[in-house]
Structure 1
Amino acid sequence: MNAPDAVARAFRAERLRVLATVIRLTGDWELAEECVQDAFEAALLRWPADGVPRRPGAWLTTTARNRALDRLRRANVEAAKLQELAEAPDAGDDEWTDDRLRLIFTCCHPALTLDARVALTLQTVGGLTTEEIARAFLTSTATMAQRVVRAKRKIREAGIPYRVPPADLLPERLTGVLGVLYLLFNEGYSGRRELAGEAIRLGRLLARLMPTETEVRGLLALMLLQHDRAAARTDRNGDLVPLDEQDRSRWDRTLIDEGRGLLTGTPTPYQLQAAIAACHAAAATAADTDWPRIACLYEQLAGLTGSPVVQLNRAVAVAMAEGPQAGLRLVDALAASGRLRGYHLLPATRADLLRRLDRRAEAATAYEQAIALAPTEVERRFLRHRHDEL
């Protein structure tokens, strides 16, 4: 492997580890980012002449740390911090693992706004540029840059600790981290596919760092078992293809196998959702789907979360298992509760059940309500098509 290729490979494999370590050592987020960038630039200059080091990550960490030490000396930082940085040993694998976890939990700290958590995670942990993040979220580069700057300032000024939370806080904080990753995935699932891929990449990283955490495995399994259908979800015109009409030969069996291997059978929220996705993946045809089991899993999930969206999904499963009238009763009860007011899938689901019951006029009205609420043109086109078929 030539030196430029080795630098590119090291950037993909080592950047997060090196950055996490230098942030811990310096306590200065922006300084660490600049020094890590300097280290990779130095590698581009020196590795062609000196050869690729045996441990590229250690070389990059040492170079970035020394750059930071020089910068801090010039800034007259207090002697104690300089001494700590100068004497810091080279990081071994365990230390790097801890640093990466510290970085992920810091990016997802609840003191930051949700938008800031997402942007900071994508830039710092994911390695995306500000321009790439802005493009994915359909905002300007300047707006996204300010969001990231404000997040880093908040971490510094509020004294947010750079650490993995203690045991008594870990479950709550881990839920927040997983929530950020799933938000990223859902943004991608709705159309910006690169975000779904990035969420899966970060999920795999978290699973490697926390291999015994059931819900980390559950979220990764869920994302994989949903993303395996990505190629079949739209047709050549970009229109949505419903699950029961998808060409299952286009589903990615490698992702399905990886996802199923992460299931533990534990009745926790992400594990239950992943088990539901696995039921769909196991069905050779739509007619083979085990809808009674899916309805049962949704009932367990609703009991855990109390989510009206989960209850709506359970209504769909009940309709498939017991008939559309049984599902419609549950949907109408949800509509009466007002808990899903403004959510387009409520009238869309009701419209589909009414259509199956041959109540066409009511179905048409429900489709029109769903079209008015649908957030994307792809979904609106699909609903208009269903409406016009009545």
Structure 2
Amino acid sequence: MNFKNTREFARELDAQDKLFKYRNEFIFPKVNGKQVIYFVGNSLGLQPKSAQKYVNEVMTDWAELAVEGHFYAEKSWWDYHERFSEKLGKIVGANASEVTVMNTLTVNLHLLMVSFYRPSGKRYKIICEEKAFPSDQYMISSQVRYHGYDPSDAIVEIKKRDGENNFRTEDVIEKIREVGDECALVLIGGVNYYTGQVFDMEKITKAGHEAGAFVGWDLAHAAGNIELKLSEWNVDFAAWCSYKYMNSGPGNASGCFINKKYHNKKDIPRFEGWWGHNKERRFLMEQEFQPEPTANAWQISNAPILSLAPYLASLEMFDEVGMPALIEKRDKIVAYLEFILHEIDKEVESTFEIITPADQSERGTQLSVFLHGEGREIFKYLMDNGVITDWREPNVIRLAPAPFYCSYENMYEFGQILKTGILNKKK
């Protein structure tokens, strides 16, 4: 498509957008009395208007039924988490039995490491990407120390080539083969939080298995953003947060994927609790643990219903729209944003370097832009003028036009605000 940097053209795209109506299903903050242009769905998604209704339902059931809400609420609490499995399965490309919701992201990664980081003999190393999201770095480092290893030896980081912004799949696979039978686990962020690069999860998972290792993925920036086929790719495990692209609310519950080949096993290492016990026998209070025959066996405590309620509200919209439609708009609106950035770059004679891959198959909703010659003051100008974006040192802004609630006219307006901010600075 031949894009134009005009308001009229942007409005034409919005008029053709089948998802445009969903903007009205979200609550936007305001700056100077005007709805913001919201680019941080990769950090915290906007609140769906329906979230309050779902939370109020739980509050009403608690008030009117008290403990009986576990069994007699319209959405009974004892199996509330099971309402997520099929919907989330569609989003991450998994069977419903392979998906569960519990805890928060890093907590779940720690719990999954009990099952899937099992160092033995010379096979004890973990391969991850350099400068992974700090929580992943801390989690992996603490795990290898817990098992008695030195992180400087046990953690192998895949590095970018000098002068390049993104990882090369062939370098990842080469490193896996190099570590070989010393590799116990490959654990990488499916979408790099800094650049927005999407890893080739299928090829990397295959390479990890060929080396005899388990392969897991942190999908914090991937779930609800890109196409995932966890079952088809034979991924061993994965976890993701729900508050970014899936709009569940700050710090909310995490989703987990555990490949069905590990289900219904009593001998797999796993930290266990009564909510992972066979649900048909759970209230018999038996001494011996009998795992649920699904990913729910990894559940430990009963679900935090008040936290899950807004997540379920958002998932209803995902189920209604479907990932193919979201991805179709994502590709188009990101391409339009990219076009706008290049057009403004020419008009202000500045230098914007988009460090996110140009190939759409290697990126999702996010564009990370290196503002050469511009400082943090341009970020402040954007924020003061109603563009909510994200700053990362040394000089990068991350822009994530979430397809559920960002419009093409937002992209045009952002370009005009950015241009004005840079030109004012040069006066």
Category of TM-score, reference length = shorter chain: under 0.3
Compare the two structures and name the one with the higher helix fraction.
1
Question: Larger relative contact order (C-alpha < 8 A, sep ≥ 6)?
Answer: 2
TM-score (norm 1): 0.23
Larger Rg: 1
Compare the two structures and name the one with the higher strand fraction.
2
TM-score (norm 2): 0.22
